[in-house]
Structure 1
Amino acid sequence: MTFRSKIDRPFLMLYGAATLLIAVSCFWPFFFDDDMPLSAAAILISIFVGTIAFMLWLILGISYVFRDDHIFVKAGPLRTKIAYEDISLISPTSDILTGMRMLSSRDALEIFYPKAVMDSVKISPAEQRRFLDELMKRVPRDKFHRSLL
């Protein structure tokens, strides 16, 4: 079963601001250099298109897939497997600025497991209740924060 990530307005605004900053950085020279070589223009345009494509891949490519023995979490080129038996705690979180994040919403869950880069990964499934119900079938209930039960 596959779940997509929830995308909320503040996240879209953050990515919109980043896109604007990248656009200004890449296209600023066009306004001041009337004699810009074609190769320089091609490089700047390529940097802009590549960076925006990568950012879109990161945002739109977030998914959480339930497999037989693990959850497969994917965000663009970033991937991790979380074995069900390794999960030590699942709790709600709104702190999306620290730790390993594969999310696009402040309405998030933090899954703690020992093999994680920073002891946990933060995710934001769009259908959080259905995601938790599916996870409860695979992980003992004592691993869930009481506010999630």
Structure 2
Amino acid sequence: MVYHSKPDVFSIVSIFLLIWIMGVVSLVPFITSFAIGIIMSAIFVISAIFIWWYAVSIQYVFCEDDLLIKGGPFQNKIPYESIRRVAPTSDKLTGYRISAADKGLELFYQRDVHGSIKILPKDKMQFISELKKRCPNVQLPPNQTFE
């Protein structure tokens, strides 16, 4: 079963505006010839496309033995038996994140250096119910809403 990430439009637009501003400012001193300007612009456009691809392609795939988290060319496999706890989070700027959005879920697991990952599936309740089916030992905070 595949769950897509809920995109955070404000963060994506902010990142792209910042990239374009930094790109223009950093390109101006290096443009001594037309060829250099074209090369620098191509590198900048390819980088921007890569970041866009990463931001809009985030998905969470429930495989047979593990949860596969994919974003662009990056993948992270988390075995179900290593997932210990799921908690809501609104912490936007810290931790290992696959998504820039706030008000997501934090999966705590053993096996990796980070110990947790912050995600934001479109339908959190359906995602959590599927996770509970595949990982019955997962702990959820009592009386907690995941809206």
Q: Which bin holds the TM-score, normalised by the shorter protein?
A: 0.7 to 0.9
Question: What are the superposed Cα offsets for residues 25-73 of structure 1, whole Å, 9 maximum, x if unpaired?
Answer: 355348xx6xx32321122111211111111111012110001111100
Deviation, structure 1 residue 145? 2.2
SS of structure 2 residue aligned to 1:101: coil
Aligned length: 145
Question: What are the superposed Cα offsets for residues 76-104 of structure 1, whole Å, 9 maximum, x if unpaired?
Answer: 22211011110111111011311211114
Indicate conservation of the 8 Å contact 1:110/1:123, yes or no: yes
Inter-partner Cα distance in structure 1 for 2:113 and 2:138? 23
Indicate conservation of the 8 Å contact 2:57/2:72, yes or no: yes
Structure-to-structure mapping, 1:23-102, within 5 angstroms: 23-29=23-29, 36-102=32-98
Inter-partner Cα distance in structure 1 for 2:83 and 2:91? 19
> Structure 2: any 5+ residue segments left out of the alignment?
none
Indicate conservation of the 8 Å contact 1:110/1:121, yes or no: yes
RMSD: 2.1
Deviates more, 1:70-79 or 1:36-45: 36-45
Amino acid at match of 1:90: V
Q: Does 2:107 align with 1:111?
A: yes
SS of structure 2 residue aligned to 1:40: helix
Q: Does 2:14 align with 1:14?
A: yes
> Structure 1: any 5+ residue segments left out of the alignment?
none
Deviation, structure 1 residue 148? 4.8
Pick aligned residue for 1:128 from 119, 124, 129: 124
Deviation, structure 1 residue 8? 2.4
TM-score w.r.t. length of structure 2: 0.86
% identical equivalent positions? 34
Deviates more, 1:60-69 or 1:5-14: 5-14
